[in-house]
């Protein structure tokens, strides 16, 4: 038998790492091909003209523009 009782650790206090989601470039900002415009989970915002959707639903630029 144990000489002293083991202390139970708290199951609270754990926090997941930040994911840094959201809009990265706003209206009027210059973009180059491959620039990330929006980081998202799911397709809340759908890709438009001259943009594509990545595997993780990230929207990125295909052409240079504003």
Residue pLDDT, tens place only, 40-60: 999 999 999 999 999 999 999
Confidence band for 25, pLDDT divided at 50, 70 and 90: very high
Question: What are the tens digits of pLDDT across the range 11-21?
Answer: 888 899 999 99
- The CATH-assigned architecture of domain 28-66 is Beta Barrel (2.40)
pLDDT of residue 5: 73
Mean of all residue pLDDT scores within the chain? 92
Q: Position of tokens 């210059």? A: 30
**At which residue do the structure tokens 């790492």 appear?**
17
Q: State what percent of residues in the chain have pLDDT above 90.
A: 77
- Environment class of 25 (CB within 10 Å of its CB; exposed 0-12, middle 13-18, buried 19+): middle
> Does 9 have pLDDT greater than 80?
no
For 31, residues 6+ apart whose C-beta sits below 8 A from its C-beta are 25, 37, 61, 64, 65, 66
Cα 53 from Cα 17, distance rounded (Å)? 24
């Amino acid at each position: 038998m144990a000489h002293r009782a083991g202390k139970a650790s708290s199951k609270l206090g754990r926090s997941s790492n930040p994911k840094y989601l959201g809009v990265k470039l706003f209206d009027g900002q210059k973009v180059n091909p491959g620039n990330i415009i929006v980081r998202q989970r799911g397709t809340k915002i759908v890709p438009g003209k001259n943009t594509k959707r990545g595997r993780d639903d990230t929207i990125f630029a295909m052409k240079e523009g504003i």
